[in-house]
């Protein structure tokens, strides 16, 4: 039995709205007790506890990212579960939900169990999201019950949206019966063929085919309509639609109206969508190529507003590693996506806490408590007694310079390489184990 006392820190725990100096006692993989400064020292000494001095640091629930690509099985040259989770620990994360667009696609209990096996050497907890349809081809839904039993926490054809109304209808029902969210990458791929950036004047000038905002908002509106029909129909469990990486003001407004109507619709925003606009694509910068694409300043500002007013439920990175040679080619041929698990906390502090005065209590809710709740990860996203001992210690006032070459991730595709950012992660503890220390 191992005991750890974290003392001297400023503790933030969104569920209990704790935001003040408190000490924290951990025993094995669980949180045991919170106490006023110095109150737990005697008990910790009696147990021979390891003492961690958190003076000057924020002590918060470990971060939870519900949208990452770990590339295994099948694309270990881009990322492995081991390398991705090690990089995530450096970013303060203690839990990741990984997408099913692997090779083979995670559409079977065998693949799900393979991802969860100890041989993958994950540094933190991994929670697979299984494919919503077989092979993510959009035609036939997978076996939700057996996939959930194997460890899947949600269903999505991420990157290949479910376009057929009837199939999406079935997927929402099946996910609701399994008690997990149906997760949608909202893109009408019928009208985005060949598109490689946001539609508009910049795309026209660069000679690139643009992706319209309606390609995203149209699918969001269709999915909300299906959720409304199932909800008001009154038969079966209530469906939960989660919309991934929203990037347009129009789609966000549809989600805002759905929430006001009482529908169970949640959504996430990625740091790159509240930090950057399509201006970053200038020079055919493939490190700014992603899907959904970087949008206009109006859309970027709308993502910030949604995070501030509660329409956006959480922050997720869409961490999408690619090998160097894959990004170093013609813009239209380069794959979509950037890495993000090491810079997410710092970018969020910079934009939301420093520029828009969002309290850190609210920020930790968006990056830990809310994503854990959306995915049903019980005992995570909180520092309450009996919760898993998932903890991040960080200094919000210090700065650091991100050097992608030193990342444990196998990939370097990020537009934030070389930037000096606020918020330094000092330690990450996953289920009572120190998995990162600076």
| 374, two tokens | 């959306």
Task: Tell me the C-alpha distance between 26 and 43, whole Å.
Answer: 11
Q: Which two tokens stand for residue 364?
A: 């930790």
Question: Is the Cβ–Cβ distance between 159 and 101 less than 8 Å?
Answer: yes
Q: Which of 157, 278, 318, 390 is catalytic?
A: 318
Which of helix, strand or coil describes residue 106? coil
As a whole number of angstroms, the distance between CA 77 and CA 249 comes to: 36
Both tokens assigned to 78: 């881009």
Angle between helices 213-233 and 165-178 (to 10 degrees): 60
**27 - beta bridge partners?**
3, 30
Instruction: Please report, for residues 100, 290, 301, 352, the alpha-carbon distance to residue 293 in angstroms, rounded to integers and kept in the order given.
Output: 21, 5, 15, 21
Distance CA 359, CA 293 (A): 29
Helix (H, G, I), strand (E, B) or coil at 343: coil
Determine which helix (DSSP H) or strand (DSSP E) holds 395, and give its type and residue range: strand 391-401
**139 part of the active site:** no
Residues marked as catalytic: 318
């Amino acid at each position: 039995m191992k005991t750890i006392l974290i003392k001297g820190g400023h503790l933030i725990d969104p569920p209990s709205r704790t935001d003040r100096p408190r000490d924290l006692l951990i025993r094995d993989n669980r949180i045991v007790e919170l106490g006023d400064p110095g109150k737990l020292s005697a008990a910790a000494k009696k147990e021979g506890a390891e003492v961690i001095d958190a003076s000057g640091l924020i002590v918060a629930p470990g971060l939870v990212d519900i949208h990452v690509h770990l590339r295994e099985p099948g694309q270990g040259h881009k990322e492995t579960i081991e390398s991705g989770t090690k990089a995530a620990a450096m970013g303060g994360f203690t839990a990741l939900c990984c997408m099913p667009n692997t090779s083979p696609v995670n559409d079977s209990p065998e693949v799900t169990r393979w991802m969860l096996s100890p041989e993958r050497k994950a540094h933190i907890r991994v929670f697979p999201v299984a494919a919503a349809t077989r092979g993510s081809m959009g035609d036939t839904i997978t076996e939700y019950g057996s996939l959930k039993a194997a460890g899947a926490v949600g269903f999505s054809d991420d990157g290949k949206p479910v376009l057929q109304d009837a199939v999406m209808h079935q997927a929402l029902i099946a996910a609701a019966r399994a008690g997990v969210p149906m997760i949608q990458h909202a893109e009408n791929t019928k009208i985005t063929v060949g598109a490689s950036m946001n539609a508009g004047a910049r795309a026209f000038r660069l000679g690139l085919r643009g992706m319209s905002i309606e390609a995203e908002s149209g699918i969001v509106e269709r999915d909300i309509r299906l959720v409304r029909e199932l909800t008001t129909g009154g038969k079966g469990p209530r469906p939960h639609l989660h919309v991934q990486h929203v990037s347009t003001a129009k789609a966000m407004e549809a989600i805002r109206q759905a929430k006001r109507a009482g529908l169970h619709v949640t959504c996430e925003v990625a740091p790159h969508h509240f930090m950057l606009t399509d201006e970053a694509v200038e020079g055919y910068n493939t490190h700014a190529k992603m899907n959904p694409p970087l949008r206009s300043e109006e859309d970027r500002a709308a993502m910030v507003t949604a995070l501030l007013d509660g329409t956006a439920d959480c922050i997720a990175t869409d961490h999408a590693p690619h090998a160097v040679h894959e990004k170093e080619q013609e813009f239209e041929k380069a794959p979509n996506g950037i890495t993000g698990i090491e810079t997410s906390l710092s970018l969020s502090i910079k934009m939301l806490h420093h520029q828009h005065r969002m309290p850190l209590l609210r920020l930790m809710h968006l990056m830990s408590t809310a994503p854990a709740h959306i995915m049903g990860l019980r005992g995570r996203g909180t520092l309450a007694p009996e919760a898993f001992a998932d903890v991040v210690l960080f200094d919000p006032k210090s700065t650091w310079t991100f050097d992608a070459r030193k990342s444990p991730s196998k990939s370097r595709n990020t537009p934030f390489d070389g930037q000096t950012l606020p918020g330094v992660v000092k330690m990450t503890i996953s289920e009572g184990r120190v998995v990162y220390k600076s």
